[in-house]
Structure 1
Amino acid sequence: MTPAEETIARLEREFAVFVRQDRAALGRLGREVHPDLKVAAYRLLAHLAERGPRRPTELACHVGVTSPTISRQLQHLEALGLIERVEAPDDGRAYSVRLTDTGHRRVEEVRVARGGRLGELLGSWAEEEVRTFAALLARFNGSAATPPPRRCGGAE
């Protein structure tokens, strides 16, 4: 293995560790939103908190699942009182979903907890190291962005 291949292999291992740890942390934090909340559902809530009301088809494209899957996830979140259906402003036959007040409050609590945890993890780093890490991660994420595997009708 060449030094470049070894570096890439090490990076791949570190990504795998990061993803595994982040998924576990999201699961724990999601349960703080509601004990019955799954990781995928928390990601939907966070997306709604960031982007506002969305149609189910847009959410399905965002997370890369089918319409029946997103429908089941949204029904679960609605039953937990975290989202509600609202008439789509541009089409009275369609609907969007949005966070309830409880949903907003719970997502914000988790966001603050995640930020606190990240602050703890980076507490021993110099400010310049944190800025550099953030810039490099943003650069990587920008280059890693790919179009969704299926057409989503212009949804984000």
Structure 2
Amino acid sequence: MRDDDVETIGWQLTAFARRARALAERLHPELPLASYSLLAHLAETGGCRATDLAAYFLLDKSTISRQIGDLERLGLVERQVDPANQRVKVLRPTEAGLRKLAEVGERQRTAFRSRLDSWSDADLAAFARYLERYNAAD
């Protein structure tokens, strides 16, 4: 039974990821999910180095460089000298990046609310805790 549940969880997480990508494409076609995730992380942390992003998202540095380059060209991210170490560049969202993040985030929350509207408060709270617990395992 436990193996069956683990199998079901795997399939459901895969379906969840596919839906999240599709939703992201509909909500912000100009900002791919990967770039949106990087921008959101930069806003959440107040900025970090590209190598920190690569480590956090378990991505190759070249992948991060391409995506950050796209975000810079869109004017959503900028590089700033780290005051603690003048040789280090810290990536930070621009004001335009923060506005885009807020706009896309609100559209995303609206879509989630719509999908979860029929859930009870208890089910919603349990789901939130389970997702936090699952993601904390990394």
Measure, in 2, the Cα distance between the counterparts of 1:64 and 1:93.
24
Alpha-carbon shift at residue 29 of structure 1 (Å): 2.8
TM-score (norm 1): 0.80
Q: Secondary structure at the match of 1:125?
A: coil
Change (3 A) 1:103 1:73: same
Measure, in 2, the Cα distance between the counterparts of 1:63 and 1:7.
27
User: If you compute each CA radius of gyration, which structure gives the higher value, 1 or 2?
Assistant: 1
CA RMSD of aligned residues (A): 1.6
Q: For structure 1, which runs of at least 5 residues remain unmatched after alignment?
A: 146-156
The residue number in structure 2 matching 1:17 is 15
Q: 2:67 aligned with 1:69, yes or no?
A: no
Alpha-carbon shift at residue 10 of structure 1 (Å): 2.3
TM-score (norm 2): 0.89
Task: Give the letter for the 1:74 counterpart.
Answer: I
Q: Secondary structure at the match of 2:75?
A: coil
Match of 1:133 among 114, 127, 135: 127
Change (3 A) 1:9 1:71: closer
Percent identity reads: 36
Alpha-carbon shift at residue 110 of structure 1 (Å): 1.1
Change (3 A) 1:139 1:65: closer
Measure, in 2, the Cα distance between the counterparts of 1:64 and 1:7.
27
The residue number in structure 2 matching 1:154 is none
Residues 39-86 of structure 1 show CA distances to partners (whole Å, capped at 9, x for unaligned) of 211111110111111111111212222223222221211111111111
Q: For structure 2, which runs of at least 5 residues remain unmatched after alignment?
A: none
* Structure with greater helix share of residues: 2
Match of 1:99 among 93, 99, 119: 93
Aligned length: 138
The residue number in structure 1 matching 2:103 is 109
Task: Give the letter for the 1:100 counterpart.
Answer: T
Task: Give the letter for the 1:18 counterpart.
Answer: F
The residue number in structure 1 matching 2:6 is 8
Match of 1:27 among 21, 25, 28: 25
Task: Give the letter for the 1:136 counterpart.
Answer: Y
Task: Give the letter for the 1:15 counterpart.
Answer: L
The residue number in structure 1 matching 2:51 is 57
